[in-house]
Structure formats: C-alpha cells, structure tokens
Structure 1
C-alpha cells in the first residue's frame, strides 16, 4: 500500500516527519543555548563547527526541507478532508475532548511556517535590518554579537516569542497525536502521553524564549 494513497498513510507520513522535526527543534535548541557559554567558545564556536562541512549542512537542509514540505502538504490535505466530512481512520480511537490546540493545528502550523521563513531571512540570509554584523579578519561573522543585537529590538523579540507560543500549541497536540497514529499509545497510556506532550512542548517554549528574554532583559549583553 502506498502511504500517500490513503488517509491513514498520510497520517503516518505526517507523524514520522513531525517527529523528525521535533528532534530537530530539540537539537537546535541545545545548539542555541551555547550562547550562555557552556560550550568553550560559546555560540561562535558552535556556529563554526556547524559550518565546517558545507556539503553535510546543505544535505541536512535539503532533507529537512523535504520533511517539512511533506508535513505541510499532507497536513493541508487532511485538514480539507476533515472539514469536508470525509470519514477518517485512526490507529487508536481518541478518548480526549478536542482542545484549542487540536482544533487549530492548521493555523499554528501556518504561523510556524511563516516564522521559519522569517527566521531564515533573519539569521541565515541576514537581510532583516537591525542586527550588528561584526566580522573578523577572515570575514567570519560574530554570531554572538549578531544574535544579541537582534533581540535588543522588542519587535523582533515579540515575533520570536509569539512564534514559540504557536510552536507550543502545535507540539502539545502534535506529539501525542503522532504517537497515536503510529500505534505507540492506547487507552491506558494516552493520558500519560498527553501530559508528557504538554510538558515537552512547555520545556521547548521556555528554552527558546529564555534566549531572547535574557537579551532584552540585559542579562546577556553584546
């Protein structure tokens, strides 16, 4: 059976790609926290190591682009199907009531997509104004200074904080939903998974917001 030809197959593709993105979000957060100096050389050393192998970086970017594209494409398809009243199949019958997060997955997902575009324009392409691009003799950008100068703007801080709230809403339902889809939960374990999903999403929210909050509050200075 081709996964893309059935509703449950598309749900499985969404679940798998979603879990890949959750893993990326977690690893990305760990890398970002090097701005607090726990890694020797801080976030500048992290960025240098990260880009030491350009082919590997680009291969990973293309892989993640494919995963995100699949997740978005089938997410939109399934949303249209659900709202069109088509019968849907589930790996495990849902027992909990609908929540704000579950009813607005498409909107939180689209907000996250818009943020990803903004984030790439901001820190990857460096076309968003307001950041200090300080370079050394070899032309390498001081990432620490770039990040700190960016988040000193309340407008930029608000965009990132708002995006992390959208991420929290999306993950708080998405983690437990993907677990159901691939058959990793049942009526007995589902309540535990729901709570764990909320805690993981909350931890990621606090972790990501801690960085711009530390900057705009003056804890981290350029």
Structure 2
C-alpha cells in the first residue's frame, strides 16, 4: 500500500505509470492494426474480417460468457487510458509549477517541441477515441448513418464513405497524431525503463520510428483504400 502511494506521488513513479500504460497502448494498437488489415483480400477479405470480429466477441467460450473476456480487455484498456492521461496531466502541472519567472517569460523559446507534440497529439487522440467508439463500436445514429450490429465490414466501409468521407479524413489526421505520439512515447518509454545508453541511442530511436511509421501506415491504408474504392 505504501509502495503504491509512493508510486502515485513521485515523479519517477508517475513516469513509470505512463511507461507501463503506454506499453499496453502500443500492444493494443499493433494488434488492432493487424486486425484491420483483414479487410483486404490478401488478408482474408469481408467474410474473414467479420469472422475475426466475432471471434473477439466469443473468445473464451464456453468457459466464459459471450463478450465477457472482450469486456475485461476493454476495462483494462480504459484503465490504462485513464491512468496514462492522469499521469501526463499531473507531470505537466508539476513542470509548470517548477518553472521560474524567467523561464516562463521565455517559454516559447525554451519549450520542448516533443512535449508540445505529445500534449497536442494526446488531445487529438482522446477526441478520436471517443468519436471512434461512437462511430464504429456503438453505431450512434447521426454519427454512423447505417450501422448493422455484427456486420463489421459493412460498418467500416459505410462509415468511412459517409458525410463526404469526413470520418475517413478525421481518421487519417488522428493516425498522423498517433504516429508522432507513438514515436515520442516509445522513445520516452525506453528512457524511463533505463534503456538510454548512448551506445543504443540510434538503434532505439530507429526502432521508435519503425513502430510509429508501420502502425501509422497500417491504420491509414484502410480509409485510403475505402476512399479509392479498393475496399468497397
């Protein structure tokens, strides 16, 4: 209990919380990206994509009920997002309070661009997550024009094609933000966990870029394919 409170209050502890929850997030987006690629024929196509989505909902049956393990995963992800946002905001507030008057006068000159990108990207991603759930998970009328429960392929294609492709465009903007967030987040993760030896700096930076670029392209090609009529 005392250890948990120390982790909660200390700067290092909150950075560790950000790193661990960020790692959960990285694992999720890679898995999610791989699943999205199943819309393409070379990965299975429409029927296989729907079967994959149903397999996620029925995973663990008959030991567990329908969607039970899926909800466990969702709750873990929700907890990770809440802790990640809280830790980021808390550390940001601490850094603001620690600044001297002279530093504040020259904030624009001395501000860390990576930190600014992380905060801005984080806000965009938070808005996107809420929209994404309303659009593709809950199928709220007005957000998704023709949501059919269980037909994930149909919902994806129609969802991106609707409203003059505005959802697809917003998705692409969010994926660019995700790419920057992943790069800086992965690099910060290595540093927080102690993998910041100068010998491996180039390798770890390159790995951070690879993760960011692969995930961004992997997500982005789906709405682009819908917009071009490749997936329809």
Same structural fold, with TM-score higher than 0.5 when normalized by the shorter chain: yes
2:54 counterpart residue number: 48
Q: Are 2:37 and 2:222, in contact at CA under 8 Å, matched by a contact in 1?
A: yes
Choose between structure 1 and 2: higher helix proportion. 2
CA contact (8 A) 2:56 2:70 kept: yes
Q: CA deviation at 1:34?
A: 1.0
Judged with a 3 Å threshold, the aligned counterparts in structure 2 of structure 1 residues 148 and 70 are, in CA distance, closer, same or farther, namely same
In structure 2, C-alpha distance between the alignment counterparts of 1:103 and 1:187, rounded to whole Å: 25
Shift in CA distance, 98/184, structure 1 to aligned 2, threshold 3 Å? farther
Structure 1 residues without counterparts, runs of 5 or longer: 88-96, 135-139
Query: Which structure 2 residue ranges, 5 or more long, are not aligned?
Result: 59-65, 101-109
Q: Could you tell me which residue of structure 2 aligns to residue 173 of structure 1?
A: 184
Q: Which residue of 134, 142, 161 corresponds with 1:121? A: 134
- Measured on the aligned residues, the alpha-carbon RMSD in Å equals 2.0
Aligned length: 207
Instruction: State whether residues 101 and 172 of structure 1, in contact with CA within 8 Å, keep that contact through their aligned partners in structure 2.
Output: no
Aligned equivalents of 2:114, 2:227: Cα separation in 1: 28
- Per the normalisation by structure 1, the TM-score is 0.86
In the other structure, the counterpart of 2:92 is 79
2:159 to 131, 147, 150: 150
TM-score (norm 2): 0.83
- Give CA-to-partner distance per residue, 1:65-124, whole Å, 9 cap, x none: 11111100010000111222269xxxxxxxxx9864333211211111110000000111
Q: Which residue of 1 aligns with 2:106?
A: none
Shift of 1:141: 3.0
